[in-house]
Amino acid sequence: MAIGETGGALVIAQVGEREPIGLVEYRAGEPTTGWLTVVFIALAKAYRGWGYGSEAVRLLEERANREGIAERFRAEVDARNGLGLYFWLRLGYRPAGRGEFGWQVDREADRMAMVRAPSSVKSKP
């Protein structure tokens, strides 16, 4: 898995399947240096709830951390999307406080920024 220094999209695939089962889009350096923001994640309906999305995000975090691209991670979720919120909470993300980390995020009122700090990211040797 190659991580782009400015961002990109990664296909989620399952061994033995002919078609991709999902996609993760991310932006490195957003909102500022040292951060990586997941802007989109989707899985085919038949593969939801089996851990594929969680594993894809974990692998993305580990690789970005190991390669020095990002130490902090961010995602936005619609505040009305309980399953989406639960997904990020299970991965160790937490809601960002207003003005936290020294940047001002302009977003819609129904969107919530979720963040994960370096102390909670474990990189493999």
What is the predicted pLDDT for the residue at 7?
85
Q: How far apart are CA 95 and CA 101, in angstroms?
A: 12
What is the predicted pLDDT for the residue at 123?
45
Which CATH code, of 3.40.50.11540, 3.90.79.10, 3.40.630.30, 3.40.50.1100, is assigned to 7-120?
A: 3.40.630.30
pLDDT tens, residue order, the chain (125 aa) = 556 678 888 899 988 888 999 999 999 998 889 999 999 999 999 999 999 999 999 999 999 999 999 999 999 899 899 999 999 999 999 998 877 655 555 556 688 889 998 654 454 44
Judge contact between 70 and 64, C-beta under 8 A: yes
Which residue in the block uniquely carries the two structure tokens 């969680």? 54
Quote the pTM value. Answer: 0.81
Q: How far apart are CA 18 and CA 32, in angstroms?
A: 37
Provide the phi-psi class of 14: left if phi over 0, else alpha when psi is between -120 and 50, else beta: beta
Judge contact between 99 and 35, C-beta under 8 A: no
Q: How far apart are CA 1 and CA 86, in angstroms?
A: 26
What is the predicted pLDDT for the residue at 62?
92
The full DSSP string for 1-66 is ----SSEEEEEE--TT-SS--EEEEEEET-SSTTEEEEEEEEE-GGGTTTTHHHHHHHHHHHHHHH
State yes or no: cis peptide before 95, omega within 30 of 0: no
